Each structure stands twice: as C-alpha cells, then as structure tokens.
Chains A and B, each alone.
Chain A
Amino acid sequence: MAMTLDVNGKPLAVKAAPDTPLLWVLRDELQLTGTKYGCGVAQCGACTVMVDGQAVRSCVTPIEAVAASKITTIEGLGGQHPLQQAWVKHDVPQCGYCQSGQIMSAAALLGANAKPTDADIDAAMDGNICRCGTYQRVRAAIKDAAAMPAPAAAPAAAPAKA
C-alpha cells in the first residue's frame, strides 16, 4: 500500500509497509542517506530528523505515525543553515557520522528556543552520542549559530504534535 510522505517540503510516494521505521524508508527508498543508523533503539540520536519542528528518532518512528506530518532531514537544511555554517566554522565534525543527528537536534532546539542556556543545550543534546567526543565544539557551534541572524529558509518550528 503506497503512502505519501512530506519530506523537505516535497510529497514523496513510498512503497514500504506502514510499520517500517522512517529511517530505513529515508535511507533505502528515498536515498536520503544523510540520516544515519546508529543504534536502532533511540539511544544514540544519529537518526534524528525533525517532524513538525520537533526532534524525532527516525529509527523507532514507523512511517504511518508521520504520514500527516512535515518531515525535515539534514538535506532539508540546505547546507548553509546557520548551524551548518557554525559547524564548519568550528570544525565540529571528526568522523562525521553522528553530525547529521547532532545538527537536527540543534535545529529543533533553536527552532523552539532561539537563545538556549547551557541547561537547555544539555537537555536537547544529551540524546546525541558522539564517540569522537566533539561535544564541546557542538556546544560552541550551537551558541554561535544562535547569535547569527535567523535564516530565511529555516524550517519553521511548528507547534508540538497533538
């Protein structure tokens, strides 16, 4: 049974079964491979995408749960989002594998809270593991991005899902 997902502002038809995790549909079927598999059980955050502006672990989110939602992946940020600029400026990535998830969690944070405190960053970013240990640069880049002018094409932070 075909389903249509709204991914990065485009309606995309998918063939996968409704209970298939969004992660594997994005990666295997829609070829949006910026979103990574890291744990499969919402422990590491590498698969983080935004669903209606909120950070969601796509590895445990069946596509039937997001059929009516706006999904934003790392590809949807466009490459020059203030967070992405800050990430490059601070040379945050090392191996880079977790960084899509880090940036999507940070994007959801800034979407809801333009000037996060350290405690806000802790709460938003503790779900994203980085084994290379880029944590202090992640924090610095988020603070830097928060100080930049708001992006014209940033995904709007929608109200929390009902």
Chain B
Amino acid sequence: MNAPVNKKAIAGATRRDVVIGASLVGGALVVGACSPGDLLSIGAKEDFGAFGPFIKIAPDGVVTVVSKHIEFGQGNHAGLAAIVAEELDADWSKVRVEQAPAIAKVYANTGMGVQGTGGSSAISNSWDQLRKAGASARAMFVEAAANKWSVPAGEIAVKDGVLTHASGKSAGFGELVADAAKATPPATPTLKDPKTFTLIGTDRVRRKDAQAKSDGTAKFTQDVQLPNMLIAMVAHAPKFGAKVASFDAAEAKKVPGVVEVYQIPSGVAVVAETTWAAKQGREALKVTWNEDEAEKRSSDAILARYKELASGKAQPADKEKWQAFESKGDIATVKGEAFEAAYDFPFLAHATMEPMNCVAQAGGGKAKLTFGSQIPTIDQLNTAKIVGMLPGAVEIETLFAGGSFGRRANFQSDYVAECVEIAKKVGKDRPVKLVWTREDDMAAGYFRPIAHHTVRVTLDKDGYPASWRQRVVTQTLMKGSPMGQPKLDETAVEGTLGSPYLKATPIVDAQLIQPDSGVPVLWWRSVGATHTAYVMEHTIDQLAKKAGKDPVEYRRALYTKAGANRHLAVLNLAAEKAGWTTPAPAGWTRGVAVHESFGSVVAQIAEVKLDGGVPKVGRVVTAIDCGTAISPDQIASQMEGGTCYGLSAAMFGQITLKDGVVEQGNFDSYRVLRNSEAPTVETYIVASGNAPSGVGEPGTPVIGPAVANALLTLTGQPTLSQPFVKA
C-alpha cells in the first residue's frame, strides 16, 4: 500500500487513503451519516474490557497490547507495544502483543478509514491513539490507588508496572487491576513530555516474537491445522484473463486423498486430505483454457510501446492521457544543450517467503478466515460479496504472515476470494486451506509494473538544473478501486512528485501516462519510489558529473535552494559517518543517494566494487530521519532488510512475459539476493522531536541508485535499466 509523500499529507488521511475508505462504502453499502468503519462493522462482535480495545491487563500484571496491524516482519508489534508501555509505565518484560480481530470501527487505520496495514503507517497512525490509550489506563490505576490509599492522585508515582506513594504504600498492576477497571477513564488523558520517555527510543524496545520465530512455534497460515480441514490447490490459467473452457477431473480424482474437484472463477480447484495429495491431484488434472480475452503480449512489447509513448513516436490511445504534475514555467522557452537519459524498469514479483495462502470456512450463514490479513476490511468485503453476508460479520483471525511487501493488500483480495469460493463449494463450515506453490505465487501477477522514464535537463551557468522535462509511463495501481481512478495516480510518480530537485529547478515539465494491460499490478515495497528514486538520484549524479561537481556537494546546494532541511541533515550525517571526504577503502568506490518516502528521508552511501563484472556491495552507511525513533534496533533492522530488498531487485529482479505467459517459476529463474551477496548496513538516526514516520519502506528505494552512482564513478557509465545483472 502506499502512503503520503509529504509532511502535510501524513498529518491526516491522504487523499488516496480516503478514496480507499470511501470507495468501500460507496461500492458496497448505502452511504449514511457515519464513517466507513461504522458501516463496515455492522454485525461485528465488540467485547472490550475496561481499558478499551487496545489494552488488556491480567491479574498477574501482564499487559497485553492488542495490535490492529499485522506483523509480517516490520517489527511494528514491538513499536506499538512500546508506545502503550511508555505511557502506561508498564514493566516492558511483562508486555505481550496479540492480534486484533477485524472490526473497522475500532481498529481502522486512522489514515485509511479502514482496518489495514500499509504505507509504512502502522506506527505513525497509531502514535496518538496508543499514547492516549496507555495514558488513560495509567490514570485509571492512579485513581484506583489514590482511592484505596486515601492519598492525592498527584502524589502517586508509577514505574515498571508498580504504583508507589511516599508513605511507603506500593502495589503492582495485578493487585490493582480489579479496582482500576472500575475507575472512570479520563476524557483527555495527560500525555508524557517526550523528554521524560524511559522506554521509547532505547535499545530495550526489542521484538516480542523473536523466540517464537526462532523455535518454530510462531504460527503462520501455512501451519493452520483444524479438525476435518481440507487442502486446496488451484489450476490457474497460464495467461492473465483466460478462463476455463473445459476440464477433465477423472485422473485427479483417482489420486489417493483427493476429495473433490470444483470449477471456480479463478480456475479449477482440487481439494484433498493432504497438501501432497492436492498437488498430485492438480498435476493429474486436464484443463483447457479459453484465451479469447487473455493478455497475450510479451513484456518486451509492453515496454517497447511505453518507449514509443515517451518519445512521441506513438500517440496515446483513446483512454490514455498525458497528465502534468509539478510543472511550472514555460518549457518552450528552453534552448541549448541538454542532458538526456531514458530508464527502464521490469515487472517485479514480491516473492514473499510464504507463498500466498488462506484458510476459510463458509456455511450456515457464517464465514471465518484464518490467515495473515493485511487489509481485513477489504478481505471482509470481498468475502461478504461471495458468501452473501454483512462484511462486519465475516470473522478474521489474523496470523503472522511470511512477508508481504505489499502483495497481501489488493482491492480484489485475489487469493482470499479464491479460498472463499472453494470453501463455499465445500460448505458446511468445513475449513479449507488454500495452498499456492512457489510457481503459483510467481505467476499470479500483482507485479510491480513496468516503468519507463525519460529525462531531459538543461543546466544553468553554475551547473544546476535550469529546466527539467520528465515523462513517466507506467500502469496504474489504482485499477479496481470502486471509486474509480484518482485524478492523479500519485503511486506512479511519488518521489518525482515532491522532489526537492524539481523544487530547486525554475522550469519543470513533468507528465505521466498510464497505459492499461491485462497484467495485474500492485504496490511493491516503497511503491512509486521503486523507480522514481532511481531516476531522480541517478540523474542527479550524472548532472553533477556533467557540472564537474562532487555529488554530495551538488545535492547540498540543491537541498539548500529547495529548503529541504531534512534531506540535508541525513545527507550530512551519512557523509560524516561514511567518511565521504576521505578515500574509500582500497578496491571500493562510493556512491550516494537520498530519498524521501512515507514521511521519512533516507540517505545511503554504498561501497561498491565489480567482481567479475557483477557489482558487489560491501558497507552501506544509512542515515534516516523518521521522526521520533521508537525502536532504534528495529529501525536499523528495517534499513538492513529494506536495503537487501531494494538491492535484490536492482541487481537481479525481473519478471518477463513471453506471449502473455510468465517465464519465471521459482527461485532458479527469479534470482534474489543471497547471504553472501548482502551488504553490511550501518544505521544512524537523526534526532527528531517530530511524530514518528515510516520505516518499513523508506530503506528500500535508495540502495539501487547509490550502487548505480558508485558504478558511474567507477566505470564512467550510467546504468539505465534494471536489473543490473541480466538473466
């Protein structure tokens, strides 16, 4: 999912988020005077304790923080729990986290209006909400102790889950919880002065799930075992948009363990008693496909048309239209020599470690999903449409998910709907676990779309951009939003949109066009920045080279001109820590890149060398401004992981289509970064008193251009297409 591109937007719901929330209501239910969350929660069971929907406190003093956000690696459960624990003054060692049920009314992402995790917003949208929840519960304990001890509330101190008074009286949360539960929550709880934080910002804020994820007990969808459960695998069409023409299930049904074969909208499902039987059954299935409406183009043909559109050789089709953004001044007045470059980016698969899967039960007027739901409200809505019930009454138990990177959030709930269709056929509330193989997952689409950019820049007498013309061609991610296409699809241009370089340039002509295709596309960790950051940052280094200036100094001048103080701060911190002005270690060459996404700004300086013609990345110094840092260790972890994810794509990532068929099936053909290829990332955090901003995605888009910029210094040549290493 995507998120705000600037500070102003992060303060409230982004327009795109509002569209998502509003479109769910508009598409499914009568719009009334209440919020989308209220409407979508009709039929939900609400049963919260005295401390509200986010906090439970047990008689043994254990504090359970209820997370409305799924944990699929981001470390948000640690951060969310720490926000509560800080304001509550809880004993961190006695804080647990559990996953919230699906109830949009109380668990909506405050930036989206529906319950969902995305846009690196888990912490930022919860910040005020959970501080208040923690402070409110703390006040209730203080009131209970004050009454019990007959002392003024103002004289009671709370630390590590223990309340004390100068008289010597003392009691833990466990002893007082029954009385505290009867206290009245304050209307406006008093929040701490951040200067007095004792937990937030310290290295004590660590993951709560590390043990379970190190001993095999952490529960993923793949691990769900329910009585009487069936396993389903689905034969999917080899081309997007093809439909089942006919099928022969005779051989499949002979496989021991196969129970039944059903045609469903997305293909033919084999249900069996075991995973292996389902797989063998599917292999024995014979399906013929009607490809009349299928996408039959190759990815090369799609990219070739994008290039013709950008260069003006091809005219836009009826539904295609160039849209200007960030444009100012009169480009027609620009004369003289210009720098020109064109950049290509391929389709990318998310390739999560756990392929998509879901457990569904349907029948008897009920529906229950047990899986790693990223946007429970949308999954409820799509399930409700299939089984014919109120979305709020669709029960979802959210488990850990083995990665998402955006894949588990789409308007169609593709694999979820597929599982529900099968569960509906099976009926009788019998649980069905849909299992996708790696090959199913790789070929299912929802790729980061192909993108093509052209850039034409003229420089002023000092070597800085005087005019900047840019064309962006990429498929929209917003297709399927029931409210229709937004006026400008920010997901396609964010990062060029809002760029300090454009702010510092007097004449800008930037335009976007979004041809459609039959290939489903989706947000992919850092979304538009996956290509815009590369184009802006690699272009800037080429301009600096043309101007004969140091790339760090060149950026400093532009950031100063644009008033981009946060960019300047992270750049300066990274340059200092990397020793930019000193020679790189022998054999290594440095490259720099800086990018803002999801409210945070990241600078990276990568040390790169060529090893047999293949880039090898060693030390990567990272500086981030993400507002208040709740868990420095998990911020570092996300910088390490985001860097690997971005580097993997830049180096090796590529999905290709041949006559409409995805050519990659497994990790032997979709190469990803491995341990010996991973850099060593050092993370430095800019001190900030601002509210927290994103961390999960901003570390991803910076490494690609940092490496390309090092290669530019090393070889003198730009790297104008990804991946760097062709298959």
Residues of A within 8 A of B (CB): 16-17, 20-21, 24, 27-29, 31-41, 43-44, 46, 73-75, 77-79, 84, 87-88, 91-100, 103, 121-122, 125-126, 128-139
Contacts and interface: CB of A to CB of B under 8 A. Distances in A.
Contacts of A78: 215
B210 interface: yes
26 contacts: A17-B256, A21-B276, A27-B275, A33-B225, A40-B666, A44-B667, A74-B216, A75-B215, A79-B211, A79-B215, A87-B210, A93-B218, A94-B73, A95-B400, A96-B73, A96-B212, A96-B218, A97-B352, A98-B402, A99-B213, A130-B675, A131-B405, A132-B73, A132-B353, A133-B678, A139-B675
Contact of A24 (B275, B667, B679): B275
A46 B212 CA distance: 16
A29 B257 CA distance: 13
B90 interface: no
B206 interface: yes
Contact of B353 (A16, A27, A34, A95): A95
Contacts of B216: 32-35, 73-75, 100
B402 A95 contact: yes
Nearest to B276: A24
Contacts of A74: 215-216
Contacts of B256: 17
Contacts of B437: 40
Interface string B261-281: 000000000000011100000
Contacts, number: 182
A92 B640 CA distance: 11
Contacts of A125: 675-676
A95 B403 CA distance: 5
Nearest to B642: A133
Contacts of B642: 133
Contacts of B679: 136
Contact of B215 (A77, A97, A130, A137): A77
Given A97-B403, A129-B674, 17 more contacts: A16-B276, A24-B274, A33-B219, A37-B222, A40-B666, A46-B353, A88-B210, A94-B637, A96-B220, A97-B354, A99-B214, A122-B676, A128-B675, A129-B353, A131-B648, A135-B640, A135-B674
B668 interface: yes
A121 B675 contact: yes
A95 B231 CA distance: 24
B645 interface: yes
B454 interface: no
A28 B224 CA distance: 10
A24 B211 CA distance: 24
Nearest to B274: A28
Contacts of B354: 36, 38, 95, 97
Contact of B73 (A28, A31, A95, A128): A95
Contact of A137 (B400, B435, B640, B674): B640
A103 to B, nearest CB: 6
Given A36-B354, A39-B438, A96-B73, A91 B402 contact: no
Contacts of B291: none
Interface in B189-224: 206-207, 209-220, 222-223
Given A97-B354, A97-B402, A97-B403, A135 B215 contact: no
A24 B433 CA distance: 14
A131 B645 contact: yes
B409 interface: no
A122 B675 contact: yes
Interface string B476-510: 00000000000000000000000000000000000
Contacts of B207: 91, 93
Main secondary structure of the interface of B (DSSP, over half): loop
B84 interface: no
Contacts of A38: 353-355, 438
A95 B672 contact: no
Contacts of B37: none
Interface in B643-682: 643-645, 648, 666-668, 672-676, 678-681
A43 B668 contact: yes
Contacts of B648: 131, 133
A91 B634 contact: yes
Contacts of A16: 274, 276
B343 to A, nearest CB: 24
A1 to B, nearest CB: 12
Contacts of B219: 33
A39 B405 CA distance: 18
Contact of A136 (B209, B211, B352, B681): B681
A129 B400 contact: no
A98 B672 CA distance: 14
B353 A134 contact: no
Nearest to B400: A96
A40 B438 contact: yes
Nearest to A125: B675
Contacts of B438: 38-41, 43-44
Nearest to B679: A136
A136 B637 CA distance: 10
A128 B643 CA distance: 18
Contact of B678 (A27, A32, A77, A136): A136
Nearest to A74: B216
B430 to A, nearest CB: 17
Among A17, A98, A135, A139, which residue has the most Cβ atoms of chain B within 10 A? A135
A8 to B, nearest CB: 11
B209 A93 contact: yes
Given A20-B276, A43-B668, A92 B214 contact: yes
Contacts of B211: 79, 84, 88
Contacts of B676: 122, 125-126
Contacts of A73: 216
Given A43-B668, A91-B633, A33 B223 contact: yes
Contact of B402 (A36, A134, A139): A36
A121 B625 CA distance: 33
A22 to B, nearest CB: 11
